[in-house]
Structure 1
Amino acid sequence: MNKKYVLLALALYGLFVFLVINFYEDNPSSMTWEDREEFNRHYIAKLVPGQVNLEQILADLGTPDSTEAIRKNNNYYQVTFYRTQHVKSDGITTQEECTYLLFVNDTLAGSGLGGHYPENWQVIQAHSRN
């Protein structure tokens, strides 16, 4: 009789694991900040410029920690910042703690560490010359 309970428990555990793996979606907004940073890092590392759009990023990563946008020469540039590393425990997310994603006309054009972002507005200037 004990074998039946053990087998039943193992079967239920296996079913639970199967359901979690196949139906539980990672939702960055419900994660702890540590888990969210790691999730964002892994997700952003897989991105290929030119092959993903802003809508997909927003659906997968949720609302960015910060965003900026500009329209220049009939092109729309948007930069989103997602937290990817911890710098200082002050309750404030800074650009240094983020990775930025640059979108040109809603298509990913590049990314980089948020602390280097102000220098990278040159990226937008370079794109606007084309």
Structure 2
Amino acid sequence: MTARKTQTMKPATAAKKLDVYLPATPAEFQDGVVSREELNALQTDPPEWLRELRKNGPHPRSVVAARLGVSISGLARAGVTEALTTDEIDAIRTENPAWLEHERATQAEVRRQEAELKRNRS
């Protein structure tokens, strides 16, 4: 019987699964490979650097979009292409620019249509 090979992933894949911005992670995380066991350990008992990144950012666009209630495409249409910190996200929420209201309305309409399609399929 052969031993099971340890499953590993690239740092970019692990960062995506952890919902963190890869360039903001420590160098040893970026330069290595992450095993499935290491990823599980990071998820269940995150080290300080991971807790800090999740709390304050910078956050990847998927997290920025979710926190603002818009799509990633909506961020791109608004010209937001970089990772943002929690403070920057909060500032956008406070300012509530016209593009944010428009993109939130667009996102709400898309969700409404998806829910309607799901109901019609049932």
| TM-score, scaled relative to structure 2 | 0.30
Q: Answer 1 or 2: which has greater helix percent.
A: 2
Q: Answer 1 or 2: which has greater strand percent.
A: 1
Greater radius of gyration (CA): 1
